[in-house]
C-alpha cells in the first residue's frame, strides 16, 4: 500500500500511508484510537475507497471496489464487531457469499464438507455445523470468522482487535492459530491496543499516529516504551497533568450494592477532590456498577448515599442530586447525534432554562454556549447537530453536560474511548481540574487502559467477575498487580 | 442561516408552490378559484388534523397504523351519542376522549403494560355487557371493579412486555375497525329523531363551505390544533424531550427523562388529535360510518414524511406535515379538475412520497460532505 489517503469532511483519517505486509509474517499495526488503523485496513479490505494512493497484491495492482472483490482477491478481514449473520448456521456463515452451488440451489453436501474442512484448520472441527451462530460464544464466533477466511484461501488476513472479547485460554488458542497460519505463508496484519500481545506475536510493528505511519520496528528492536512513545508522540508524563490534591469529605458512599447479575456486593467511598479508578477486564461488571449507582439498572440490594441523601433510584433523581454520568458508548447511548449540541448538553436539566415547562431554542443555546467555550468544543454553532463533530469534541459535549448540570459526583465510563491523542490530553487536564481545582468534585473513572488510570487516578479499585476489590492508592500499585487481580488472581 | 439551511427548511413549501403552479397553469380558473381553495382546505382538514398528531408520534420514534380505524370508531361513537340525544359538543368531546383513550392504550402497550391494558379492556367489556343486559349503574360498578382487579392481576402475571408500536397499531388497525362495525351492527349510524337530526346538521356546519368566518370552521379547527401542537413541539420542555427520545432513547434514559411516561403522553395527545379528526369526519359525513377513513393511516404518514419527518424518529415539523398534507390535496384536486382518472392521482402521489424522501437524502448528503 502506498500513499493511501482518506478524508471525511474536514477530518483527515489517513494522510498518505505506506504499508507493506510480507507473506508468512505477522505485522502488528498499533496506534491510539482514531490514529487511522481501522480506516487503513478497511481500505485494504475494500470496505472504504481511498481518495488517493495505490495498492499492490503479489506485485499486481489491486483496487477492490467492494469487500466481495477483496475477498475474491484473497484479502480477508475480521472486524472488531463480528460480522456474522446470527440467524444462519455455522456452515452457512463460513461460506457466506461463496456457497457451492448446484444450478440455482445450494449444494448442502459440499457446503458442509468445505465448512468442516475450514473449521478443522482453525482447530474447531467438532463444532456443530447446523448450530445458529447467534448461539455461539464470542470465542467460537471468532473462530467461525477465521474459518471463513481460511475457506477462502486468504493470502492476507487482517485481525482488528481480535482479543477484545476473549478470555485468557481463548487468546492462547487464537495465538497458536495465528502462528499456524503464518507458518502456512499467510500475511497477517494484527491490530491491537494491547502492547503485550504485539510483543508476543509480531515479527514487525508499524505505528500510526493521526493518519500517518510514524515508526516501524523489527522484532529485535521492539519494546513497549518505544511503541508508546511513537504512539503518543510525546513524553507520557505531560499527558497526565496532576495538580496537588486536597482530598475532602466523603461525598458518596456505596454499601454492598448488588445488581441483577452484576455488580456483586460492591462497596466504595468517594471523596471530594479525588479521582477513583475502576480497572478490570471487559465484562467484569464495571459499567454495570456505574449504571447501578446511577439508577439505570435495577438494584437488588445495597444502599447508596450521595451528599448524605438517599434518593429514588432513577437517573432523573441522580442528576438533581448532583451526580452525572457519561456513557462509554457515545453513539448508542451517550448522545442524540442528530440533535443540536445545545440540546444534548442541557437535556437532563432543561427545567433550568425553562419557565413553567416552556423554553426557547435560544435560551437553551445561550446556556450551552458557556460550556462549549469553557471546554473548547470546536463547532460551528451551538445549534449544530452533535453527530457532525469529531469524536473528541463529542466527548467534550458529553462531559460538558455533567458540568452544566452542576454534578459534584462524576461517573465517567471510558471517557477517552475513540478520541484522538490531543483530545485525550485535554480530557485528562479537564478531569484534573474538576477534581483538584477551585471547586473539588469527586470523579469515578472506569477505563480499560491501565496507563490512563495510573496517570489520572488517586486510588484504583479492581473489579473481577462482578466483585469490586478494595481501592488502594496508585503509589502502592503497579500495572502487573492490577492485571493479576483483574484476571481473578488472589494476592 | 446559510442558503442551504433555508432551502432545507423551505423544501416542502417549494414543492407545494411548484405543484400548485403546475396545476394552476394546466387547469386554470376552475383550479385557482377561491371556492376551490376553500374546498381544498376543507379536504385537508381531516387528514391534516390526524397528521398533526401523527407527527408527534413519528418524531418520538413511533408509528401509528391504526389512525384510520380510530377515526372510523370515533365517527361511530359521536353519531351514536347524537342519535341517543346527546348535545353536539358533548358528543364531540366524547369522540376526542375516545381517541385519547385509544392513544393511552397504545402508549401503555408500547411501554410494556400489556397486563394493565388487558385488565382494563376486560373490565370495559364486562361492564358494557352488564350495562346492556342489567342496567348502566351495575355495569359501571362491576366493570370498574373487574378492570382494577384484572389489571393488577395480569400485570403481576405478565410483568412488562414491550411491544413495538408497529405491531401494536397493526393489530389495532384491524381490531378498532371491527369494533366500529360491531358498534353499529355493521351499519352506519344516522340521526333519526327530529331533535337528533337538528343536532347532526348543526355539527355538519363545521365542514360546510358556506359556513364559518372566512373559511369553514373545520379549517379553523385544524389551524388551531396545528398551531398549538407546533408551539408545544418547539417551545415546551416536553417537546424537546420528545425529540431527544426519538433521536436516541438510550440517551434520553441516561439523561433521566421519564421515557415511559413521555411515550404514553405522546400517544394519548396525538391520538386525541385523531379524535378531533373524527369529529370533523362525522360532520362531513353527517353520520357515523365504520368503513370511512380507509387508508388514512398511510396518507397521514405520507404527509409527515413529505414534510420532512424521519420514520426513525427525532426529526419532523408540524408545518412540514401540513404542507405535505396540502401537496397531496392539491394533487388529488388538481387531477380531478383536469378530469384525470383516479389511478393517475394515486400514481402521482406515490411518486411524490418517494421523490420527497429522495430529495431529503440528497440534501443531507450535500451537507455531510
Would the CATH topology of A2-234 be identical to that of A238-486?
yes
Residue A71, C-alpha cell as written in the block = 475477498
Is B295:B71 a contact under the CB 8 Å cutoff?
no
Tell me the shortest Cα–Cα distance from A340 to chain B, in angstroms: 10
Least Cα distance to A479 among A173, A195, A166 occurs for: A195
- Within-domain flag for B132: no
In whole numbers, what is the pLDDT of chain A averaged over residues? 85
Place of cell 348502566: B136
**Alpha carbon distance B310, A222 (integer Å):** 52
Identify the residue among B232, B256, B308 best suited for mutation to test binding to A, counting A beta carbons within 10 A and taking the highest: B256
Residue pair A41/A158 in contact (Cβ under 8 Å)? The answer is yes
pLDDT at B271: 96
Which residue of chain B is at minimal alpha-carbon distance from A319? B256
pLDDT of A277 strictly over 70 = yes
Mean pLDDT along residues A107-125: 85
Element (H, E) at A219: none
> Within a 10 A sphere around the Cβ of A105, how many other Cβ atoms?
8
Nearest residue of chain A to residue B255 (CA atoms) = A348
CB proximity under 8 Å: B 313-342 to A: 314-315
Locate A478 and state its grid cell: 503497579
pLDDT at A18 over 90: no
CB B338 within 8 A of CB B23: yes
Residue A444 confidence (pLDDT): 95
Please give the full DSSP string across A31-64, using - where no structure is assigned. --TTSSHHHHHHHHTTSS--SEEE-EETTEE---
Among B353, B233, B337, B303, which residue's Cα sits nearest to residue B22?
A: B337
pLDDT exceeds cutoff 60 at A327: yes
∠ at Cα A213 (A208, A215), nearest 5°? 90
Pick the CATH number of A2-234 from 3.40.50.300, 1.10.20.10, 3.30.230.10, 3.40.50.720: 3.40.50.300
B248 vs A contacts (CB less than 8 Å): 332-333, 335-337, 339
Nearest by CB to residue A319, choosing from B235, B238, B256, is: B256
Which residues of chain A lie closer than 8 angstroms to B368, CB-CB? 9, 388
> Rounded to an integer, what distance in angstroms lies between the CA atom of residue B8 and that of residue B2?
10
Which of A332, A347, A357, A363 to mutate: most B Cβ within 10 Å?
A347
Among A338, A351, A357, the residue with its CB nearest the CB of B247 is A338
Residue B124 lies in a domain: no
pLDDT(A419) > 90: no
Nearest chain A CA: its distance from B320 CA (Å): 18
Asked if the C-beta of B1 comes within 8 angstroms of chain A's C-beta atoms, the answer is no
Question: Tens of pLDDT along A208-262?
Answer: 887 788 888 888 888 777 777 777 665 555 678 888 878 889 999 999 999 888 8
CB contact under 8 A, B250 and A333: yes
Interface check for A9 against chain B (CB to CB < 8 A): the answer is: yes
A and B: number of Cβ contacts within 8 A = 85
Would you say B106 and B168 are in contact if contact means Cβ atoms under 8 Å apart? yes
Answer yes or no: is B302 within a domain. Answer: yes
Query: Residue A9 pLDDT > 60, yes or no?
Result: no
Separation between Cα atoms, residue B88 and residue B196, nearest integer Å:
9
3-state class of A264 per DSSP?
strand
Residues 278-307 of A with CB under 8 A from B: 294, 296
Write down the CATH superfamily of domain A238-486: P-loop containing nucleotide triphosphate hydrolases (3.40.50.300)
Instruction: Answer for the pair B143, B130: CB distance below 8 angstroms, yes or no.
Output: yes
Chain A contact probe: residue of B251, B261, B367 with most A CBs at under 10 A = B251
Residue with cell 493518519: A211
A266 to chain B, closest Cα gap in Å: 21
Q: What is the pTM of this model?
A: 0.81
In a domain, B9, yes or no: yes
Report angle CA B163, B168, B171 to the nearest 5 degrees: 140
DSSP code of residue B51: H
Query: Could A318 and B244 be called an inter-chain contact, meaning their C-beta atoms sit closer than 8 Å?
Result: no
Angle at A422 between CA A420 and CA A423, to 5 degrees: 70
Half-sphere exposure of A37 (CA within 13 A, CB side): 29
Angle at alpha carbon of residue B277, lines to B273 and B282, rounded to 5°: 145
pLDDT at A391 over 60: yes
CA angle at residue B43 from B38 to B45, to 5 degrees? 95
Among B228, B236, B247, most A C-beta atoms within 10 A, so best to mutate, is B247
Q: State which residues form the domain around B333.
A: 3-112+162-368
Please report, for the domain that includes residue B304, its CATH number. Answer: 1.10.3470
Q: Is B28 left (phi over 0), alpha (psi -120 to 50) or beta?
A: left
Return d(Cα A74, Cα A94) in angstroms, integer. Answer: 15
Contact indicator for B221, B280 with CB cutoff of 8 Å? yes
Residues of A in contact with B254 (CB under 8 A): 294, 296, 315, 325, 327, 333-334
Q: How far is A402 from chain B (nearest CA, A)?
A: 10
Does B244 contact A at CB distance below 8 Å? yes
Give the containing element (helix H, strand E) for A72: helix A67-73
Below-50 pLDDT ranges, chain B: 368-369
List C-alpha distances in Å: A97 to A71, A149, A152, B71, B317.
10, 12, 10, 48, 42
Question: How crowded is residue B315: how many other Cβ atoms within 10 Å of its Cβ?
Answer: 18
Chain B residues 246-265 with a CB less than 8 Å from chain A: 247-248, 250-258
d(CA B204, CA B79): 12
Domains of chain A by residue range: 2-234, 238-486
A323/chain B closest Cα distance in angstroms: 11
**Contact at CB, B236 and A357, closer than 8 angstroms:** yes
pLDDT tens per residue, range A157-168: 888 877 766 766
If we measure between CA atoms, which residue out of B50, B55, B74 comes closest to residue B177? B74
* Chain B residue numbers touching A332 (CB-CB < 8 A): 248, 250
> Can you tell me the mean pLDDT for A472-489?
83
pLDDT for B363 equals: 67
Residue partners of A372: CB distance under 8 A and separation at least 6: A341, A345, A379, A382, A397, A400
In whole angstroms, give the CA distance from residue A324 to residue A411.
6
Say yes or no for a CB contact (<8 Å) between A350 and B240: yes
Give Cα B281 distance to the centre of its chain. 11
B241 assigned to some structural domain: yes
Residues whose CB falls within 8 Å of the CB of residue A179, separated by 6 or more in sequence, listed in order: A26, A201
CA of A381, closest CA in chain B: separation in Å?
11
Q: What is the pLDDT of residues A61-98, one digit of tens each?
A: 888 888 888 888 888 888 766 678 888 888 888 888 77
What's the number of domains chain B is made of? 1
Structural domain contains residue B139: no
> Half-sphere exposure (CA, 13 Å, Cβ side) for B325?
30
Q: Would you call A347 and B257 a contact, using CB atoms and an 8 Å cutoff?
A: yes
Q: Nearest Cβ partner of B369 from A9, A333, A350?
A: A9
Q: Of the candidates A476, A490, A430, which has an alpha carbon nearest to the alpha carbon of residue A456?
A: A430
Amino acid at each position: 500500500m502506498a500513499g493511501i489517503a482518506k478524508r471525511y469532511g474536514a477530518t483527515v483519517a489517513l494522510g498518505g500511508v505506506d504499508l507493506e505486509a510480507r507473506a508468512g509474517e505477522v505485522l502488528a499495526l498499533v496506534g491510539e484510537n482514531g490514529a487511522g488503523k481501522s480506516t487503513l485496513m478497511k481500505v485494504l479490505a475494500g470496505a472504504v475507497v481511498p481518495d488517493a494512493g495505490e495498492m499492490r497484491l503479489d506485485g499486481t495492482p489491486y483496487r477492490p471496489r467492494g469487500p466481495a472483490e477483496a475477498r475474491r482477491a484473497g484479502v480477508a478481514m475480521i472486524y472488531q464487531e463480528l460480522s456474522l449473520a446470527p440467524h444462519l448456521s455455522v456452515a452457512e456463515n463460513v461460506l457466506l457469499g461463496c456457497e457451492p452451488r448446484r444450478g440455482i440451489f445450494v449444494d448442502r453436501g459440499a457446503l458442509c464438507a468445505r465448512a468442516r474442512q475450514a473449521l478443522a484448520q482453525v482447530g474447531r472441527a467438532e463444532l456443530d455445523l447446523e448450530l445458529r451462530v447467534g448461539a455461539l460464544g464470542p470465542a467460537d464466533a471468532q473462530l467461525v470468522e477465521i474459518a471463513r477466511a481460511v475457506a477462502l484461501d486468504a493470502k492476507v488476513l487482517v485481525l482488528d482487535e481480535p482479543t477484545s472479547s476473549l478470555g485468557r485460554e481463548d487468546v492462547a488458542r487464537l495465538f497458536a492459530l495465528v502462528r499456524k497460519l503464518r507458518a502456512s505463508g499467510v500475511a497477517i496484519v494484527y491490530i491491537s491496543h494491547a502492547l503485550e500481545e504485539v510483543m508476543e506475536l509480531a515479527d514487525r510493528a508499524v505505528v500510526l499516529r493521526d493518519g500517518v505511519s510514524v515508526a516501524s520496528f523489527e522484532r529485535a528492536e521492539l519494546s513497549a516504551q518505544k511503541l508508546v512513545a511513537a504512539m503518543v508522540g510525546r513524553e507520557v508524563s505531560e499527558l497526565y497533568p496532576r495538580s496537588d490534591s486536597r482530598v475532602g469529605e466523603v461525598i458518596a458512599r456505596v454499601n454492598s450494592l448488588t445488581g441483577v447479575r452484576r455488580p456483586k456486593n460492591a462497596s466504595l467511598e468517594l471523596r471530594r477532590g479525588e479521582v477513583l479508578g475502576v480497572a478490570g477486564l471487559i465484562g467484569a461488571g464495571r459499567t454495570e456498577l456505574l449504571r447501578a449507582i446511577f439508577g439505570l439498572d435495577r438494584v437488588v440490594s445495597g444502599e447508596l448515599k450521595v451528599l448524605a441523601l438517599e434518593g429514588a433510584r432513577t437517573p432523573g433523581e441522580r442528576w438533581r442530586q448532583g451526580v452525572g454520568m457519561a456513557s462509554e458508548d457515545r453513539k448508542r447511548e451517550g448522545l442524540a447525534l442528530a440533535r443540536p449540541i445545545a440540546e444534548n448538553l442541557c437535556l437532563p436539566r432543561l427545567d433550568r432554562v425553562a419557565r413553567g415547562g416552556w423554553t426557547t431554542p435560544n435560551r437553551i443555546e445561550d446556556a450551552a454556549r458557556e460550556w462549549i467555550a469553557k471546554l473548547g468544543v470546536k463547532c460551528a454553532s451551538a445549534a449544530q447537530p452533535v453527530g457532525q463533530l469529531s469524536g473528541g469534541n463529542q466527548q467534550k459535549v458529553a462531559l460538558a453536560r455533567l458540568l452544566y448540570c452542576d454534578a459534584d459526583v462524576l461517573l465517567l465510563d471510558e471517557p477517552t474511548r475513540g478520541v484522538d491523542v490531543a483530545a485525550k490530553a485535554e480530557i485528562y487536564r479537564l478531569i484534573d481540574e474538576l477534581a483538584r481545582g477551585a471547586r473539588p468534585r469527586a470523579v469515578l473513572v472506569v477505563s480499560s487502559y491501565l496507563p490512563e488510570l495510573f496517570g489520572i487516578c488517586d486510588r484504583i479499585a479492581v473489579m473481577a467477575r462482578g466483585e469490586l476489590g478494595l481501592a488502594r492508592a496508585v503509589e502502592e500499585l503497579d500495572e502487573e498487580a492490577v492485571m493479576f487481580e483483574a484476571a481473578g488472581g488472589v494476592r | 442561516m446559510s442558503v442551504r439551511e433555508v432551502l432545507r427548511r423551505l423544501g416542502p413549501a417549494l414543492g407545494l408552490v411548484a405543484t400548485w403552479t403546475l396545476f394552476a397553469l394546466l387547469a386554470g380558473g376552475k383550479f385557482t378559484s377561491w371556492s376551490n381553495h376553500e374546498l381544498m382546505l376543507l379536504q385537508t382538514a381531516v387528514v391534516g388534523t390526524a397528521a398533526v398528531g401523527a407527527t408527534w408520534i413519528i418524531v418520538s420514534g413511533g408509528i401509528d397504523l391504526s389512525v384510520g380505524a380510530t377515526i372510523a370508531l370515533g365517527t361511530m361513537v359521536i353519531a351514536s351519542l347524537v342519535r341517543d340525544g346527546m348535545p353536539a359538543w358533548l358528543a364531540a368531546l366524547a369522540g376526542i376522549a375516545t381517541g385519547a383513550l385509544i392513544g393511552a392504550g397504545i402508549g401503555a402497550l408500547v411501554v410494556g403494560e400489556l397486563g394493565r391494558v388487558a385488565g382494563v379492556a376486560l373490565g370495559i367489556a364486562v361492564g358494557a355487557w352488564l350495562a346492556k343486559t342489567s342496567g348502566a349503574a351495575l355495569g359501571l360498578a362491576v366493570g370498574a371493579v373487574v378492570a382494577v382487579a384484572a389489571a393488577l392481576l395480569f400485570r403481576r402475571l405478565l410483568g412488562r412486555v414491550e411491544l413495538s408500536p408497529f405491531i401494536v397499531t397493526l393489530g389495532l388497525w384491524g381490531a378498532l375497525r371491527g369494533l366500529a362495525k360491531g358498534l353499529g351492527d355493521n351499519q352506519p349510524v344516522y340521526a333519526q329523531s327530529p331533535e337528533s337530526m337538528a343536532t347532526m346538521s348543526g355539527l355538519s356546519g363545521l365542514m360546510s363551505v358556506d359556513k364559518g368566518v372566512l373559511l369553514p370552521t373545520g379549517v379553523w379547527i385544524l389551524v388551531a390544533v396545528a398551531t398549538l401542537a407546533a408551539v408545544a413541539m418547539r417551545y415546551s420542555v416536553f417537546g424537546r424531550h420528545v425529540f431527544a427520545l426519538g433521536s436516541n432513547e438510550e440517551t434520553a434514559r441516561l439523561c433521566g427523562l421519564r421515557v415511559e411516561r413521555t411515550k404514553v403522553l405522546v400517544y394519548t395527545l396525538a391520538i386525541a388529535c385523531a379524535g378531533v379528526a373524527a369529529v370533523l369526519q362525522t360532520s362531513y359525513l353527517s353520520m357515523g360510518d365504520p368503513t370511512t377513513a380507509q387508508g388514512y393511516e398511510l396518507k397521514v404518514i405520507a404527509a409527515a414524511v413529505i414534510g420532512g419527518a424521519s420514520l426513525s424518529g427525532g426529526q419532523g415539523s408540524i408545518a412540514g406535515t401540513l404542507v405535505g398534507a396540502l401537496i397531496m390535496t392539491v394533487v388529488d384536486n388538481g387531477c380531478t379538475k383536469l378530469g384525470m382518472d383516479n389511478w393517475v392521482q394515486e400514481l402521482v402521489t406515490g411518486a411524490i412520497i418517494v421523490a420527497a424522501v429522495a430529495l431529503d437524502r440528497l440534501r443531507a448528503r450535500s451537507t455531510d460532505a
